[in-house]
Amino acid sequence: MTLTNWAGNYVYRAGVVHHPSSVEELQELVAGSPRIRALGTRHCFNDLADDPAALVALDALEAVPEIDEDARTVTVTGGTRYGTLAQHLHPAGWAVHNLASLPHISVAGAVATATHGSGDASKNLASAVAALEIVGPDGTLRTVRRGDEDFAGSVVALGALGVVTRVTLDIEPTYDVAQEVHVDLPWTEALAHLDEITSSADSVSLFTDWTGDTIAQVWRKTRVTPGYALRTDLFGTTPADGPRHPLPGIDPVNCTAQLGEPGPWHDRLPHFRMDFTPSNGDELQSEFLVPRAHAVAALEAVRSLSGLVSPLLQVTEVRTMAGDDLWLSGAQGGPRVGLHFTWLPRQPEVEAVLPTIEAALAPFDARPHWGKLFADSDRDLARLYPHWDDFRALVARTDPDGVFRNDFLERHVL
């Protein structure tokens, strides 16, 4: 049977996909494999998680989260989806600090690629990791904890250090969130007041197709406090008169509740509901993360390419995140703004424009999201990460025989 990724744009080449039912079985499998890669929920748009030899999925491992209230942590198997985690945490009175737009993605996969949510004060999902349990190339099980020498290089590791069997995450008391949507934000106001707009809620997303004089939608997600009230003013926008989908004309039935209706964190922070298929059909995705200081200039640079970008685009989402210290994180070293492109399923044409976009963003040190489409045509990534050589040395020391190497890593990293 042909195995594809979530979007259907990539066909996995692996001759076999293993589904071990225990960690011990996984250890034996890895120890006996000359080459193998971990496969998550397949929400990746390139060959990062593939290898012609073999793949291993953790969907058969028992996925009941273990909450440690004293330590304020939860431990889950690597294949656990964030939506599943939330269904265990919230009834017990706990939450994680943030979520991505989709609750359907696996914890280990999101962590390994530095996937993020949104919020000026919120770091990406990997920043919540307190410990990782990893099966190494010889099948040995090891644990890396926050504070260990190799920890900052082991969290966002692109699967290069082994198969992550368990992840321990920081948790906090559960909370409610209300989501408001505003429409038609003038570009002039967005560029003049970007910091005020993105700081006006705990999580803010701007949706645009780069045409016209306005940004189509602004989604604001706010933690509900006793003084919370709907806000109608936002730099010339209009409050939405009903639920909205990020794409115009699409039924918002699969989107999380809007109109300022408070609800649990896991029912508001994602854009899409766990019990609905989130995609609007076939699509491709790219994302570039630029330092916060260059945000306005980067937005203007992409706007100048609207004639090239917009005909291939479904929508762009602009989000923010706080900085972290994880070596290969897109936000390593300081806060970033993410420019996310959801493309029409026209891959040759999209791939043809990516070098132009990357060249326009190169002066701003834009880093691509590891799990999405990007060109890196000049193998330029090394200059963007201060700990690049440290990571390569960590991989060489941890996996000297290249059990977890693949074409993606050889092409971009190693």
Q: Where do you find CATH 3.30.70.2520 in the chain?
A: 176-368
Quote the radius of gyration of the chain (alpha carbons, Å).
Answer: 21
With 0-12 CB in 10 A as exposed, 13-18 as middle and 19+ as buried, what is 259? middle
Question: pLDDT value at position 230?
Answer: 83
CATH dotted code for 176-368: 3.30.70.2520
| Residues lower than pLDDT 50 in the chain | none
The architecture of the domain spanning 66-174 is 2-Layer Sandwich (3.30)
**Residue among 277, 230, 227, 226 at smallest CA distance from 251:** 277
Q: pTM (2 decimals)?
A: 0.95
- Other CB atoms closer than 10 Å to residue 391's CB: what's the count? 23
Record the tokens describing residue 283, joined without a space: 């699509």
Question: What are the start and end residues of each CATH 3.30.465.10 domain in the chain?
Answer: 66-174
pLDDT for position 377: 85
Q: What is the pLDDT of residues 62-72, one digit of tens each?
A: 778 999 999 99
Distance CA 17, CA 227 (A): 52
Q: Name the nearest CA neighbour of 159 among 74, 83, 57, 29.
A: 57
Percent helix, percent strand, percent coil in the chain, to nearest 5: 25, 25, 50
Alpha-carbon gap, residue 205 to 197, rounded angstroms: 10
Contact 191, 299 (CB under 8 A): yes
Instruction: Give the residue among 173, 122, 39, 62 at the shortest CA–CA distance from 322.
Output: 122
Task: Enumerate residues 6+ apart whose C-beta is below 8 A from 144.
Answer: 131, 132, 134, 150, 151, 154
Which pLDDT does position 97 carry in this prediction? 96
